[in-house]
Structure 1
Amino acid sequence: MRATTQCINTSRRALCRVFLPPIEQTMLPLPLFFLPCQSVTKLHQLRSYASKPPARGPRGRTAVAASEQVAHEERGFDKRFTTQKDIDNSGRSRPPQNDEITDPLIMVIDNAEPEGPFPTRHVLAKLNPDELLRMIQPYIPADSSKNRPKPQYALCKIFSKAEELERLKQLREKKKAESAKKIKSKELELTWAISEHDLGTKMRQMGRFLAKGYKVEVLVARKKGGRQASMEEAEKLVKSLQAEVEKNEGRETKPSSGAAGGTMRFFLEGKLVK
């Protein structure tokens, strides 16, 4: 074995003398198997510790574990449990469902009394393809000051997806109905000496509001620094206004205030659009 090693070394040096200049021959490193054992050990150690070790928190914990512990201490319970405050801050208009539920343990209702607590992942794994799990009551932590020594796990219910679609449909219809009940109001201002063209524009505008079921308050007053209308012109304007209200199936919600030729207010409302 020694003779073979020596032969390889001799051939290597001969090749170096032929192909390399003298200065580079002196800088050529020995192959790895000719390095002393101590050098090989140091190279191996350098490679093993090349990556930076994970940051450590209190008592040797990693930074991630330390931050989770801080969150646990601030809340007083596992941060995975979902409280009402968490739901409010989530930006969703509904409670969490299916994989959105991060609580490790939950109570479950499935057409019966609540049962549990069960591991959430196990409950989700047993759902049928046409079912979903929704939280209907969030987690309530223990609070000895409120005579609640133990926490109340989030209450979840199993729904069929068909029921959920029907529920969403009814919710949309309810919102639409509530929006329709909120009657919008508009205001219009006229002067007694208004021109025929401008009066026609205002009447058409009022008619559109009434046709949409809006409440419309019309104020008619004298024009400051302008021509003052005669009583005949004022009475004619009042009749034009009343005719436009009748044309659009509107009505006066209460008697008008003031007098023709002075400052007069009309309180009108269009027919509610269904």
Structure 2
Amino acid sequence: MKASKCLFNSAIALRKVFINNAVALEGPGQLQLQRLLLPSITIPLQPPSSSSSSRRPFSTYRAAQNRHYGPRPGTAPPVADRVLRDHDIVFPWVQLRQDDGKLTEPQKTSAVLKKINMARQTLVLLAVPRTDPSYKGPQYPICRVADRKAEVEAQAEKEAIKKKAPKIVTKELELNWAMAPHDLRTKTTQLKKFLTKGYHVKVTMLNLKKRNKRRASADEAKEALRVLLAAVAEVPGAKETKAREGDVGGTLLLDLHAPTGSAAGAATEAGTTEASTTEAPAGQAAATNSAAEKPGVSEE
């Protein structure tokens, strides 16, 4: 049998005598001893209220309390990224957009879903209704009845076009007006390589802001620009897409672009083939002339 604890022992008696006297001797604002030794008679700490003005200045309590998880007043409700269709449309009434662009009278969504052939057709949500008269938008959700097979084919066609479309890559080149001829030639070679691949190249010509760097003269700056433009002219179809910004000898910005690598390569191959076909008759004529001269030599 478990023994019960005696409520009247010497420890409790001594605690009441000495601790209570020590607490009584403390000032009104000194509660540290009371909190440590007499937890049973201390004043419980109250949780901070929303109207309390003694909150820490950088406390996140008010921010967490005022956090708003729904759409804020005065803004339209967000539309989901995915397209809602068929039974995912939760609105009880909808308006159908016809082929001519006109809208039908509001109809029950369940009735529309019963009418259409779900195996071949689908009800697609185009626009959500406004939730407040101050919002801009339709009063009822707008939907259309689409053909499932046609939608799949259209989506496949879009993806195919997206894959075939060339991705335009942007490159940046920085040139110094006082650049040595060898370094300038290296930069122009890199520029031609970028343009041949169909990249969009942004060229910045400037003076380096260094103490020991020499600034280029006006003639040197003009010559550097001439070399750069001559290199651009060597790439088929390369041109400036925007007007130049800045001054020669200062900071000059050029936007350059050329056809894609395949188009540029095709143009180069066409030019090479054209040149070879032009030279072929000349070679044949020379061979014919030499053959015609040989009988004359033998006759002599």
TM-score under structure 2 length normalisation: 0.44
TM-score under structure 1 length normalisation: 0.47
Q: Which has the higher strand share?
A: 1
